[in-house]
Amino acid sequence: MIYQVYVRSFLDSTGDGIGDLAGVRAGLPYLKKLGVDGIWLSPFYPSPQHDHGYDVAGYCDVDPLFGDLAEFDLLTAAARRLGIRVLLDIVPNHCSDQHPWFRQALASAPGSRERGRFHFADGRGPDGSEPPNNWHSMFGGPAWSRVTEADGRPGQWYLHMFAPEQPDWNWRTPEVADEFDQVLRFWLDRGVDGFRIDVAAGLFKHPELPDSPDPEADARTRDSVNPLAWNQPEVHDVWRNWRAVCEEYTARDGRERLLVGEVSVPTARDHALYVRPAELHQAFFFDLLSAPWNADVFRKVIGEAMQDIAGTGSTVTWVLNNHDQVRTVTRYGEPTPEGSGLGAARARAAALLMLALPGAAYIYQGEELGLPEVVDLPDDVLTDPIFRRTGSRARIRDGCRVPLPWSGQASPFGFTSGAEGARPWLPQPDYFAEYVTERALADTRSFWHLYRDGLQLRSRLPQLGDGPLEWLDTPPGVLGFVRGAGPLRGDGLLRGDGLVCAVNFGTAPTPAPVSGTPLLASGPCPAGVLPGSTAAWWINDS
């Protein structure tokens, strides 16, 4: 289980209202108590923060906002002592428009080596005032911006699949690949355990940059569906090279290094190609992130994921929440400012379901507290470039990034060490008082205890390892499966060593598939009954 730390919202040690690396270090004992195997740190590199660090101006340093390299070393040393692995977020598809190589490209002539590291092209139309092709940016608007040349005249255009402040690298230039090889080695030499790779189906574009066949779909979905801009076959060579670099380090010291890719591709089959034995160890499986609360949908997406991963040597990498999506508590319920009881019950059930699946689980900070999405942030505090670039229509990603509440009754809820009145970078709602970690740890009925208990069992019970999963015959609206060996007997008594997980997606109680008392349940669960919006685990107790 890897815990995603969104650094700027985790814990602030300096009192500026923005989380930092020393804050992460201070939070490690909390994470150890929860039972995490590793952490993934969102980008902390020097950056103008147009996309909160996913616009990297320098790949081998720490932005002063978050600390420095010495603090980074302290953090990794502390994590190592606690047995927590550290993964960095690496962003190879694009950089910041403040990256020195992009500054050089702007100052250089069309056709120069400096421009060749990015995608510069002449515009269309008699005066070049139309973008070179019809591609859309994932953040809304065209994927091209025009530059002003050294002589002051409007000039070429450059490609940015995200914000204009995030120019895309040209991976067909060997210098770019070599540079990233050095970046990997820089951090591996500093002792990191691996990388979460941003936009791992990106990097290469069709060499001629032709028009997209369906620009409307690209614009509508704001997803990586343009077949000429994403998922080009050459990208697999990069992952083979990166895997070889990791193996080289493992061969030296026996310590495994992990590559996990953010891979958004059209089909599960495409997805599986990224985790072939010599490529990435894992690739996020995002279908649960978009699955509505429905037993049939969950069964279908879980089944497909497992079928497609079989034979790759990898395991499915499950995700219910991350820093780009509405949190489960709100997604599964009615979006009221305070969250909703139903949404919370469903989110708890989904957590137990995920922790019972074979493979890796990634948990996003605050998920273990049952934090709802903050749905009523005022427009003037929103920082997500998507909001700006969609003409203030898409309010997607700020509400899940609100700083964590740690203690106390009022904002900043212990998030910032600053003096009384210090303000977190996004405002925390008053109702966060109910979710502070202090309170969660003290209340055995909290989300936190459910995650902690589930994680403890997951590391202790061999049934919850990477072994098989067998679906049970369950009534409509209920999902059930057995992990590990052991058939169910007809009388509902569990025999053998199997672990049964069942989830009731409906709101009315249903007979439990196993008659005994559950080992763990997401809500009150008397023997023989599985209440609505509840998940439970049973093992053989006869």
Q: Which residues are catalytic?
A: 198, 248
Q: Which of 446, 442, 468 is nearest to 356 (CA)?
A: 468
Cβ distance to ligand GLC smaller for residue 162 or 447 = 162
Question: Least Å distance between CB 388 and ligand GLC?
Answer: 13
Any idea what DSSP says for residue 211?
A: P
Question: Least Å distance between CB 95 and ligand GLC?
Answer: 10
Cβ distance to ligand GLC smaller for residue 187 or 284 = 284
CA distance 20 to 14: 8
Question: Least Å distance between CB 224 and ligand GLC?
Answer: 9
Q: Which of 163, 164, 166, 266 is nearest to 217 (CA)?
A: 266
Any idea what DSSP says for residue 8?
A: G
Cβ distance to ligand GLC smaller for residue 91 or 259 = 91
CB 253 within 8 A of CB 259: no
CA distance 337 to 397: 16
CB 155 within 8 A of CB 148: yes
Distance of CA 453 to the CA centre of its chain: 23
In this structure, which amino acid lies at residue 371?
L
Question: Least Å distance between CB 52 and ligand GLC?
Answer: 7
Cβ distance to ligand GLC smaller for residue 71 or 398 = 398
Question: Least Å distance between CB 56 and ligand GLC?
Answer: 9
Structure tokens at 395: 């309010």
- The secondary structure of the chain in percent helix, strand, coil, rounded to multiples of 5, reads 30, 15, 55
Range list of H helices, 35-117: 69-82, 100-107, 113-116
Structure tokens at 425: 């970078």
Question: Least Å distance between CB 323 and ligand GLC?
Answer: 6
Structure tokens at 255: 């310590």
Question: Least Å distance between CB 179 and ligand GLC?
Answer: 18
Cβ distance to ligand GLC smaller for residue 96 or 534 = 96
Structure tokens at 161: 């699949």
Residues interacting with ligand GLC, by CB under 6 A?
A: 51, 54, 91, 162, 198-199, 262, 323-324
CB 257 within 8 A of CB 250: yes
Cβ distance to ligand GLC smaller for residue 197 or 305 = 197
Any idea what DSSP says for residue 15?
A: S
CA distance 355 to 454: 7
Cβ distance to ligand GLC smaller for residue 184 or 499 = 184
Which letter, b or e, does each residue of 443-481 get, where b requires 16 or more Cβ atoms within 10 Å of its Cβ?
Answer: eeebbbbbbbbbbebbeebebbeeeebeeeebeebbbbb
Backbone torsions φ then ψ of 5, nearest 5 degrees = -100, 115
Q: Which of 467, 522, 523, 529 is nearest to 353 (CA)?
A: 522
Cβ distance to ligand GLC smaller for residue 324 or 453 = 324
Question: Which residue's Cβ lies closest to ligand GLC?
Answer: 54
Cβ distance to ligand GLC smaller for residue 49 or 504 = 49
Question: Least Å distance between CB 155 and ligand GLC?
Answer: 26
CB 158 within 8 A of CB 147: yes
Please give the angle made by the CA atoms of 318, 319 and 320, to the nearest 5 degrees.
130
- Bridge partners, residue 539, by sequence: 499
CA distance 428 to 423: 9
Cβ distance to ligand GLC smaller for residue 198 or 287 = 198
Question: Least Å distance between CB 530 and ligand GLC?
Answer: 35
CB 425 within 8 A of CB 403: yes
Please give the angle made by the CA atoms of 144, 177 and 244, to the nearest 5 degrees.
135
Question: Least Å distance between CB 284 and ligand GLC?
Answer: 10
